[in-house]
Amino acid sequence: MRRTLFILFGLPALLAWGSLSASGLTIAELQQQLAAGGRVTVIDVRRPAAYRQEHIPGAINIPAALCPLKKLPPLGAVVVYGDGLPDDNATAAAAALAAKPGLKVEVLQGGFAGWKSSPGLTTRRPGLKLESFNYITYAHLKAARTEGLILYDLRQPARSGAPALTDLNAEFPGLKHAASRADAVRSAADPASLVVLLDSGDGTAELEARRFKLGGAHRYVILAGGEPILARHGEMGLKLNAAGTTGVAHKLSPSGGVK
């Protein structure tokens, strides 16, 4: 029996919930359904570039912005997933589909990041690939829901005479903190958690992310810009320097650090 997978990513809109399941579907439950040859339609709502890089085998890509406009036949059981990051809006995208007749929609818990951290297969081809990491912006982290988010502080202590490090409790009230590296690794392997790596903008977070991935822990994001972006509360661009002239603030590098 042929299995079809459709995967859907985030939509910031208030939509009718239709037949959308509130609890969602776990990775294990989806794998069991697929292994049993169940008639499940899985929809990938991520950006086409992310879908082309890798996705759940058999998945069809429908970008989230097209979900309200897409005409679909009465497919029955549908599973929607995003990248698993706090701002992927997979639930809202799924709601747009659930408003259509003949669809019983569930959101995949943990999204694609959760799938990758499980024994599930992806369509990534073997061979050398450009290294990629999961990043989150300051604005998205500030707006993210707090449940499941865990901060892992990798910042270096402030040097003598330098400004003190940003108080994470004041900057992100309500967010949990990893008590140790072991605690962070366990959380990054848990589909119900997402670890946020924060460094001093020196690439330490990328190094730690490599260790996470080698250990099979994929539930992480890196705060782009690190401590320099925290110190400016997310502000980028031009600002006055000490002499009163206009200078350029720290700029994000392709790796997510600053230069």
Question: According to the model, what pLDDT value does residue 213 have?
Answer: 80
Residue-wise pLDDT for 53-75, tens only, equals 888 988 889 998 899 998 899 99
Q: Which of 108, 205, 116 is nearest to 196 (CA)?
A: 205
Question: According to the model, what pLDDT value does residue 243 have?
Answer: 43
In angstroms, what is the C-alpha Rg of the chain? 20
Q: Is 211 left (phi over 0), alpha (psi -120 to 50) or beta?
A: alpha
Question: According to the model, what pLDDT value does residue 256 have?
Answer: 39
Q: Is the pLDDT reported for residue 245 higher than 70? A: no
Level-2 CATH architecture, domain 135-248? 3-Layer(aba) Sandwich (3.40)
Spatial separation of the C-alpha atoms in residues 79 and 56, rounded to whole Å: 12
Q: CATH code for 4-116?
A: 3.40.250.10
Residue-wise pLDDT for 133-181, tens only, equals 788 889 888 888 778 899 999 998 888 888 899 999 999 999 999 999 9
Spatial separation of the C-alpha atoms in residues 158 and 196, rounded to whole Å: 20
Question: According to the model, what pLDDT value does residue 131 have?
Answer: 58
Residue 252: pLDDT band by 50, 70, 90 thresholds? very low
Question: According to the model, what pLDDT value does residue 166 have?
Answer: 95
Spatial separation of the C-alpha atoms in residues 71 and 89, rounded to whole Å: 20
Question: According to the model, what pLDDT value does residue 127 have?
Answer: 58
Q: Tell me if domain 4-116 and domain 135-248 are identical in fold.
A: yes
Question: According to the model, what pLDDT value does residue 126 have?
Answer: 63
Work out the percent of the chain whose per-residue pLDDT is above 70: 76
81 and 106 Cβ atoms separated by less than 8 Å:
no
Residue-wise pLDDT for 111-140, tens only, equals 888 787 666 677 776 654 555 678 888 988
- Mean pLDDT to the nearest integer, 211-225: 85
Q: Is the pLDDT reported for residue 1 higher than 50? A: no
Report which DSSP code applies to 143.
H
Question: According to the model, what pLDDT value does residue 196 have?
Answer: 95
Q: Which residue has the tokens 């950006």?
A: 47
Average pLDDT, the chain: 78
More confident residue, 236 or 94: 94
More confident residue, 83 or 79: 79
CB atoms within 10 A of CB 194: 25
Considering 6-10, 181-185, 215-219, the range whose residues carry the highest mean pLDDT is 181-185
Spatial separation of the C-alpha atoms in residues 109 and 220, rounded to whole Å: 15
Question: According to the model, what pLDDT value does residue 3 have?
Answer: 40
The domain limits of the chain are 4-116, 135-248
More confident residue, 6 or 46: 46
